[in-house]
Amino acid sequence: MKRLIRFLKGYEKESFLAPLFKMLEATFELIVPLVVANIMDIGIKNQDNAYIWHQCVIMVLLGVIGLVCALTAQYFSAKAAMGFSTALRKEMFAHISKLSYRELDQLGTPTLVTRITNDVNQAQTGVNMVLRLFLRSPFIVVGAVIMSFTIDWKIGLIFLIAVPLISVVIYAIMRTTVPIYKKAQSSLDRISLITRENHVGARVVRAFGRQQEEYKEFSQVNDDYTKVQVTAGKISALLNPATTVIMNFAIIGILWYGSKEVSIGTLTQGEVVALVNYMNQILIALIALANLIVAVTKAMASGVRLNEVLDTQPSLTDEGSSTQQEKAKADRVAFEDVSFTYAGSKEPALSHISFTAKPGETIGIIGGTGCGKSTLVNLIPRFYDASEGSVVIDGNNAKEYPFSQLRKKVGMVPQQAVLFKGTIRDNMKWGKEDATEEEIQRALSIAQASDFVNSKPEGLNTMVSQGGANLSGGQRQRLTIARALVGDPEILIMDDSASALDFATDAALRHAIHQQTKGMTVFIVSQRATSIKQADKILVLDDGELVGVGTHKELMESCEVYREICLSQLSEQEVNR
């Protein structure tokens, strides 16, 4: 948590004023019992109504000033805590955006969502509570003990016994509950994971009639979370009765001893009442301190989780890279003995891959599921770096390019057609911020999306809902292809991104790309032989290895794996066509 304090930068004044006003409030609170004592010992004793009223006015004034101080402190602490959380959230968001696929794979999305929301909130509450209570509670406790000594040092000793006793009880309860609160935090992570999985995959859950099972699993995790919270709650519930018992014994001691002192005239009745009030103030302050410790512990647990993310360094950076010039006559893409292993995986996903792709060529990539097709194309825009060997683009190692230059060169159509909330036009502009109407229309036309977009009453202004839920799978795919084409990239990668298109549209799409994007190197990843059959070069992958490179005709003769794939999907006539 200490390391997160830097996010309070710019709120130093508020961080100073909040505790200061809280201390002022506490000071006024400590004076009130003395005023009550005066009312009893002077006003009531002498039947002096004017004095009583005068003291009452002072008491109300102390209360009002105390309230103003408390509200001012609240204002400053809330301002500082909000500023803290806003800066922290911004930094988290920016940092997560910089992480590469490797770190995102390792951390996982649900936990990142919980961290940027719930954990930041916990840290914010912690900061707010610390600013208000960290000094105030000890100040009241110490102040009340000192006041008791100034009234009667022997009774002050009762305070010296009661305060540590109450503190020990609070400490024991906290020792038991704090680890439980930490456990609750990880249960919350699990809830977030299941909720996300179920909502993202709602259609699949329904299609497989898994609602009941998923509901059961969610209920179990939810119940576990409740149980953990209830256990912590039950133990915490002991706090009030246990501390109140000690306090009441202390009050009995004060009254018992005080009454003796009153009868011999060394102590007044008002002073006894003031001592009782101080004892009450101590208890309230200690319980507030206990709540503060719970909040701080939760904030610290959250702080650890937040630092974990902030400490995760992106494994891929483009620091030190400068804009690269294309090398004349170089291949557009060249893989030179490339191998790749995912973090935490023992088996390589790609082994010793070498091939070249020239400008204007269409490269088909085919192979069974999990053979490494997506992994291969993900190395081109540097979503991952090759573990061995080099990926060379236009004669320069992909690692030498600034990300901005590389991502401009490469238009990626991912396997999952993800669109963002906004209009179709907004989504198209992801490919090129200042894309003109003509550029967008051209991209839509190549992607075979013009008809359905222009048939919508609002055309390009049609709203796309979150994740593109108001579009069909095929429409989404076509829009993601168009989005990649808008930027007119030199390399277009379609990672199984036409799988939801019917054969005719798929063929029309490939024909349009071929005709209208001269010079563009196109990678088509597919499990459908028809989609890659016409490619200038086909890469056949099998279990991470490149088992064949060539045209359809060449591979039919030389590559067993390719032949098997084709014969399992196409008729003999189609194969030879």
Ligand X SMILES: Nc1ncnc2c1ncn2[C@@H]1O[C@H](COP(=O)(O)OP(=O)(O)OP(=O)(O)O)[C@@H](O)[C@H]1O
Nearest to 337 by CA among 100, 542, 545, 524: 545
Considering beta carbons, is residue 174 or 371 the nearer one to ligand X? 371
Q: Does 108 bind ligand X (CB under 6 A)?
A: no
Can you give the three-state secondary structure of 17-36, one letter per residue? HHHHHHHHHHHHHHHHHHHH
List the x/- string, 484-503, binding to ligand X by CB under 6 A. Answer: ------------x-------
Task: By CB under 6 A, name the one of 41, 105, 426, 536 that touches ligand X.
Answer: 105
Residue 175 CA to residue 509 CA, distance in Å, equals 65
Segment near ligand X (CB under 6 A), from 59-67, 263-271, 305-313, 370-378?
370-378
* Per-residue tokens: 442: 């051209």
| 550: helix, strand or coil | strand
Which of 176, 313, 322, 345 touches ligand X (CB under 6 A)? 345
Minimum distance of ligand X from residue 379's CB (angstroms)? 10
Packing angle of the helix pair 269-311, 49-98 (nearest 10 deg): 10
Q: Pattern of binders to ligand X over 61-90, x per CB under 6 A?
A: ------------------------------
Distance CA 404, CA 321 (A): 11
In the region spanning residues 116 to 155, those forming contacts with ligand X, defined by CB under 6 A, are none
Q: 147 or 525, CB closer to ligand X?
A: 525
In the complex, minimum distance from the CB of residue 188 to ligand X, in angstroms, rounded to a whole number: 25
Burial of 558 (0-12, 13-18, 19+ CB in 10 A): middle
Place of tokens 């402190």: 73
How would you class 576 by CB atoms within 10 Å of its CB: exposed for 0-12, middle for 13-18, buried for 19 or more? exposed
Smallest separation, CB 107 to ligand X (Å):
12
Give least dist CB 351 to ligand X, A.
Answer: 11
Q: Where are the alpha helices (DSSP H) in 319-388?
A: 373-378
DSSP 380-402: TTTSS--SEEEEEETTEEGGGS-
Considering only residues 373 to 412 of the shown chain, the ones binding ligand X according to CB under 6 A are 373-375
Nearer CB in complex with ligand X: 488/496: 496
3-state secondary structure 265-312: CCCCHHHHHHHHHHHHHHHHHHHHHHHHHHHHHHHHHHHHHHHHHHHC
Q: Binder to ligand X among 43, 66, 126, 372 (CB under 6 A)?
A: 372
H or E, element range at 439: helix 437-446
Q: Which stretch binds ligand X (CB under 6 A): 185-193, 202-210, 367-375, 427-435?
A: 367-375
How far apart (Å, rounded) are the C-alpha atoms in residues 259 and 252? Answer: 10
| Three-state SS at 209 | coil
Q: Looking at 10, 370, 473, 519, which residue binds ligand X (CB under 6 A)?
A: 370
State how far the Cα of 367 lies from the Cα of 517, in Å rounded to an integer: 26
> Considering beta carbons, is residue 321 or 499 the nearer one to ligand X?
499
| Closer to ligand X by Cβ: residue 102 or 305 | 102
Selected from 134, 218, 249, 342, the binder of ligand X by CB under 6 A is 342
Q: Shortest Cβ distance from residue 541 to ligand X (Å)?
A: 7
The residue among 25 and 495 lying less far from ligand X, judged by its C-beta, is: 495
φ, ψ for residue 155, nearest 5 deg: -70, -30
Q: How far is the CB of 507 from ligand X (least distance, A)?
A: 21
CB of 340 to ligand X, least distance (A): 9
- Residues 6 or more apart whose CB falls under 8 angstroms from that of 22 comprise 69, 70, 73, 131, 132, 133, 135, 136
Nearer residue to ligand X within complex by CB, 263 or 369: 369
- Nearer residue to ligand X within complex by CB, 244 or 415: 415
Q: Is 107 exposed, middle or buried (0-12, 13-18, 19+ CB in 10 A)?
A: middle
- In the complex, what is the shortest distance from the CB of residue 320 to ligand X, in angstroms, rounded to a whole number? 27
369 forms part of the interface with ligand X (CB under 6 A): yes
Q: Residue 367 or residue 431: which is nearer to ligand X going by CB? A: 367
Nearer to ligand X, 350 or 453 (CB): 350
Q: Running DSSP on this structure, what letter comes out for residue 53?
A: H
Angle, helix 136-151 to helix 153-200, in steps of 10 degrees: 160
How many residues are listed for the chain in this entry? 577
CB of 102 to ligand X, least distance (A): 8
- Token pair, residue 347, equals 């088996």
Least distance from ligand X to the Cβ atom of residue 109, Å: 12
Of the pair 107, 191, the CB lying nearest ligand X is at: 107
Closest contact distance (angstroms) between CB of 361 and ligand X is: 21
- Residues 531 and 524: their CA atoms lie apart, in Å, by 8
> In 201-238, where does DSSP find H-type helix?
202-207, 211-237
- What's the CA gap between 155 and 140, in Å, rounded? 17
DSSP element (H, E) containing 521: strand 521-525
**Candidates 304-312, 341-349, 399-407, 427-435; binding stretch for ligand X (CB under 6 A):** 341-349
Q: Which is closer to ligand X, CB of 25 or CB of 542?
A: 542
Q: Which is nearer to ligand X, 244 or 312 (CB)?
A: 312
Q: What share of the chain is helix, strand, coil (3-state, %, to 5)?
A: 65, 10, 25
Beta strand segments in 93-165, E: none
By CB under 6 A, which span of 212-220, 313-321, 371-379, 390-398 interacts with ligand X?
A: 371-379
Q: Write the interaction track for ligand X spanning residues 507-536; mark x where CB under 6 A is met and - where it is not.
A: --------------------x---------
Indicate whether 301 belongs to the interface with ligand X (CB under 6 A). no
Q: Which stretch binds ligand X (CB under 6 A): 45-53, 85-93, 368-376, 431-439?
A: 368-376
Backbone angles phi, psi at 328, to 5 degrees: -60, 145
- Alpha-carbon distance of 489 to 277, in angstroms, equals 77
Nearest distance from C-beta of residue 101 to ligand X, angstroms: 7
CB closer to ligand X, 280 vs 374: 374
Residues 347 to 366: which contact ligand X by CB under 6 A?
349
Asked whether 160 and 145 are in contact (CB, 8 A), the reply is yes
Q: How many positions of this chain bind ligand X (CB under 6 A)?
A: 15
**Which residue, 231 or 374, is less far from ligand X as judged by CB?**
374
Site for ligand X in 2-41 (CB under 6 A): none
By the criterion CB under 6 A, which residues form the site for ligand X?
105, 342, 345, 349, 367, 369-375, 415, 496, 527
